[in-house]
Structure 1
Amino acid sequence: MFVESTGNAKSFTAMLDQFKQHIAQKFPESVSGKTLLAVSGGVDSMVLLNLYCALKLDFAVAHCNFQLRGSESDLDEKLVVDFCKKNHISCFIERFETMRFVVSRKVSIQIAARELRYNWFKQICIDHDYQFVATAHHLDDQAETFLINFTRGTGIDGLVGIPEKNENIIRPLLNFSRDEILNYANDNGVEWREDQSNATTKYLRNKMRHLVLPVLKEENTEFLKSFQNTLNHLKQTQLLANDAVAFFEKECLKINEDQLEIDLEKAENFINNKIYLLQVLKRFRFSSISEIEKICSSEAGKVLKNDQYTILKDRKKLIVFEEKSVSSNIFYIKSKDDVLSIPIFMNISEVEKEEFNSDKCTIFVNSNLLKWPLKLRRKQTGDYFQPFGMSGIKKVAKFFKDEKLSKIQKDNTWILENGDGKIIWIVGLRADDRFKITSNNQQNYKITLNQ
């Protein structure tokens, strides 16, 4: 539904002056940078568009047509396009197959719309060098989000609601109420379109907007001001909590290649250390403090998993890593002249009358015993070999256990196998005694792992 303002078309209002000061203080870099405005055609985004025009900032407009409301969606698009043409503003339009996305991804319409639009905004910024994306969320949206999260159960991160800035997403209207935005629209002749679905109470957010917030405002005419004060106090508390967690991380955490190590002995020095651990592990989608307490008190080798990450208890440490399926690929070395570069760099060279000094990256083998092609693979159930210097065989799993390898180390170890199926080398750890050089050999090979 099209709405035409009946205001007196003032050039400047108190809100414009406040907005100018607000973005100069909160988003100074965006004042001189290029910004992409997300404009739906509703009153909030059309007011944001008018404010940016009034301040003559460097910006373009992006409008998403989700094609969910038939001709109404097309009329929203037309309003935005006509405004941009009239005011010589660059405008990006995208029509999304939203319902097809909903069905294929099995998500709600709200989640689908959010994912579609923010992915598109990101691509526009990359392609056209926009530093910021500005959305028209306002103070009433913030209050609604607070109430929704509060009723569902949340921590302080959920209570502080919508951030003013999140990476390159800025929300310069968060300090302004919907009434202030409507007043500005009426005072300055802003045209906008009303989405009729916003008037229903089908969705929880609309219930908060139409049924709950009016009661709170009736009980306290300064409700939004009081709410904003509460929000500021919560943000201050959040900053203190973040500082405490940052100190915990500095003392107890270490990044080792592609895994996170948490020193449990050092963590014991912190009162309520399990709370600190929870704050760290929430980033990896572990949110149960009872499960965290259980893995901390378990024996070495126990794991806690979700669909993306694993926590491994390794003696006095917790090791957190992304769960990656062990590669089933097999890599072949067809001859001694075949240099392997993927997944590791390995080469074979002929040696004669050389002092054979093996180390973890170099072994020497009897070339007469090699059968081509050699095979590089991961450990398999039932693997065994004859460790160099020993007379008997040993299961690879037992060897890993004796070496006190963590699960990550086991999964990342490669095995070099002869063409007849015998193990030549547990790469970087131990060669097989059956391929050792004897005094009768005239031709021998050096196999080298380049790390």
Structure 2
Amino acid sequence: MFVESTSNAKSFTAMLDQFKEHIAQKFPESASGKTLLAVSGGVDSMVLLHLYHALKLDFAVAHCNFQLRGTESNLDEKLVIDFCKKYNIPCFVERFDTMQILESRKVSIQIAARELRYNWFKQICIDYDYQFIATAHHLDDQTETFLINFTRGTGIDGLVGIPEKNENIIRPMLNFSREEILHYATENGVEWREDQSNATTKYLRNKMRHLVLPVLKEENTEFLKSFQNTLHHLKQTQLLANDAVAFFEKECVQMIENQLEFDLDKAQDFSNKKHYLLQVLKRYGFSSADEIEKICLSEAGKVLKNDQFTILKDRKKLIVFEEKSISNIIFCIKSKDDVLSLPFFMNISEVEKEGFNSDKCTIFVNSNLLKWPLILRRKQTGDYFQPFGMNGIKKVSKFFKDEKLSKIQKDNTWILENGDGKIIWIVGLRADDRFKITSNNQQNYKITLNQ
């Protein structure tokens, strides 16, 4: 369906001035930067386009044709292209084979369209140096999102609704209602097209729009204004909560070698500890407060996993790390002159007959016992060695246990193996006694680890 205003009014409404002031206050960086407008052809996005053009901002238009409505989709595309041609506005158009993508991905139309749309927008920004993506979400959209999240069950993050800014995505029309947008469009001769699917109640959002919101507005003619006040209070509460979580992180959380460590002793000082933990762990894909409480109370060694991250209970800590299978990776040192650079720097050099001062990063070995190539690898089942200063052999797993290493420390420990399969060094922990220097008449090597 094509809609065109019958009004010939030339004057701009107060909305233009309000929009200009809103941009200056909330999005000043976009006023001077390059912005990509997401324009569907509906009234909301066409008014956004009209406002940006009226303010002479630096922008281009991106239109997605999902080819789901046949001729109607193509007419939407034509409307956007014609407007841009008329006013010499850069315009990007992409036609997606949405149905084929739906069949291959097995996701809903809404999810598929959103992913296609935003992935394409972001690629345009990269290719053509646009700093911002602007969408035409408005106050009614915000209210519908609140109601949807409310009915499904959510925390405060879900109740505050659609953010005004999210990375480089901005939503400069959230302060304006659909009624104000329609009034601006009709008064200023803005052309737009209606998507007839928006009139049905097939989808939950449409049910909220056509069945719930009208009742609320009928009961309270100032409903949207009241909702804005409620949203403001919720956002203030969200800021207070965020400050509390930030203080919790400062006191109880630290990042050590790409892993996150929670000090559970210090966390005891915070009431409702599991919910503080939850707020931080949400960023890593963990969303169950009960599961987090359970692992806090579990014995050392217990883990909680998702597709990407693992939480390890390690005595009085929770340790979060990314799962990366590197158990089969090995590095070869072919000769004394071969300097290893990965996974760390390791070099071998000849040393004088005196002054063997070992530490955790340096060992001294009898060079006559080395067989090339040396291998740097992870622990394997059945590994054993003769710890320096001891007469008997010991399983590496038992050595790790005696050293009270956490699972992460065990997994991140490297072993230097001789060409004959004997362990030379549990790197950074203990050398093997079988390779020790026994006579000053031998040729000796120093092996140095530079982390």
Deviation at 1:139, TM superposition (A): 0.8
- Counterpart in the other structure of 1:186: 186
Aligned equivalents of 2:330 and 2:257: distance in 1? 24
Deviation at 1:256, TM superposition (A): 1.4
Aligned equivalents of 1:429 and 1:288: distance in 2? 38
- Counterpart in the other structure of 2:218: 218
Deviation at 1:70, TM superposition (A): 2.5
Partner amino acid, structure 2, of 1:227 = F
Q: Within 5 Å, which residues of 2 pair with 1:19-418?
A: 19-418=19-418
Aligned equivalents of 1:5 and 1:381: distance in 2? 77
Query: Would the aligned equivalents of 2:353 and 2:444 in 1 still touch at CA under 8 Å?
Result: no
Partner amino acid, structure 1, of 2:36 = L
Query: Would the aligned equivalents of 1:311 and 1:319 in 2 still touch at CA under 8 Å?
Result: yes
Q: Which moved more, 1:327-336 or 1:241-250?
A: 327-336
Deviation at 1:396, TM superposition (A): 1.0
Distance 1:280 1:87, change over 3 A: same
Aligned equivalents of 1:28 and 1:336: distance in 2? 60
Deviation at 1:352, TM superposition (A): 4.4
Query: Would the aligned equivalents of 1:366 and 1:441 in 2 still touch at CA under 8 Å?
Result: no
Aligned equivalents of 2:245 and 2:79: distance in 1? 48
Deviation at 1:107, TM superposition (A): 2.4
Aligned equivalents of 2:195 and 2:399: distance in 1? 67
Deviation at 1:427, TM superposition (A): 1.1
Where in structure 1 are there 5+ consecutive unaligned residues? none
SS at match of 1:390: coil
Distance 1:374 1:278, change over 3 A: same
Aligned equivalents of 2:421 and 2:438: distance in 1? 21
Aligned equivalents of 1:123 and 1:241: distance in 2? 35
- Counterpart in the other structure of 2:9: 9
Deviation at 1:394, TM superposition (A): 1.1
Deviation at 1:7, TM superposition (A): 2.0
Aligned equivalents of 1:334 and 1:253: distance in 2? 42
SS at match of 1:145: helix
| Superposition misfits of 4+ residues, deviation over 4 angstroms | none
**How much is the aligned-residue C-alpha RMSD, in angstroms?**
1.7
Query: Would the aligned equivalents of 1:326 and 1:411 in 2 still touch at CA under 8 Å?
Result: no
Q: Which moved more, 1:426-435 or 1:115-124?
A: 115-124
> Is the aligned partner of 1:439 residue 2:439?
yes
SS at match of 2:342: coil
Deviation at 1:14, TM superposition (A): 1.9
Query: Would the aligned equivalents of 1:347 and 1:447 in 2 still touch at CA under 8 Å?
Result: yes
Query: Would the aligned equivalents of 2:39 and 2:62 in 1 still touch at CA under 8 Å?
Result: yes
SS at match of 2:114: helix
Deviation at 1:157, TM superposition (A): 0.5
Aligned equivalents of 1:333 and 1:63: distance in 2? 56
SS at match of 2:248: helix
Aligned equivalents of 1:400 and 1:431: distance in 2? 14
Aligned equivalents of 1:156 and 1:442: distance in 2? 71
- Counterpart in the other structure of 1:420: 420
Partner amino acid, structure 2, of 1:279 = Q
SS at match of 2:357: coil
SS at match of 2:137: coil
Deviation at 1:326, TM superposition (A): 3.0
Partner amino acid, structure 2, of 1:351 = V
Aligned equivalents of 2:441 and 2:70: distance in 1? 83
Partner amino acid, structure 2, of 1:101 = I
Aligned equivalents of 1:100 and 1:399: distance in 2? 56
Partner amino acid, structure 2, of 1:447 = I
TM value normalised by structure 1: 0.96
Aligned equivalents of 2:290 and 2:409: distance in 1? 27
Distance 1:267 1:392, change over 3 A: same
1:305-341 Cα shifts (integer Å, max 9, x gaps) = 2221112222222212222223422222222222221
Aligned equivalents of 2:379 and 2:62: distance in 1? 52
SS at match of 2:387: coil
| Aligned residues between the structures | 451
% identical equivalent positions: 88
Partner amino acid, structure 2, of 1:353 = K
1:281-301 Cα shifts (integer Å, max 9, x gaps) = 222222222222222222222
Deviation at 1:154, TM superposition (A): 0.2
Aligned equivalents of 2:32 and 2:405: distance in 1? 54
SS at match of 1:180: helix
1:194-238 Cα shifts (integer Å, max 9, x gaps) = 112212222211121122222222222222122111111111111
Aligned equivalents of 2:46 and 2:9: distance in 1? 15
SS at match of 2:420: coil
Q: Which moved more, 1:94-103 or 1:156-165?
A: 94-103
Partner amino acid, structure 1, of 2:138 = H
Aligned equivalents of 2:340 and 2:106: distance in 1? 43
1:390-439 Cα shifts (integer Å, max 9, x gaps) = 11111111111211222221111111111221111111111111111221
Partner amino acid, structure 2, of 1:132 = F
Distance 1:441 1:97, change over 3 A: farther
Where in structure 2 are there 5+ consecutive unaligned residues? none
Q: Which moved more, 1:27-36 or 1:346-355?
A: 346-355
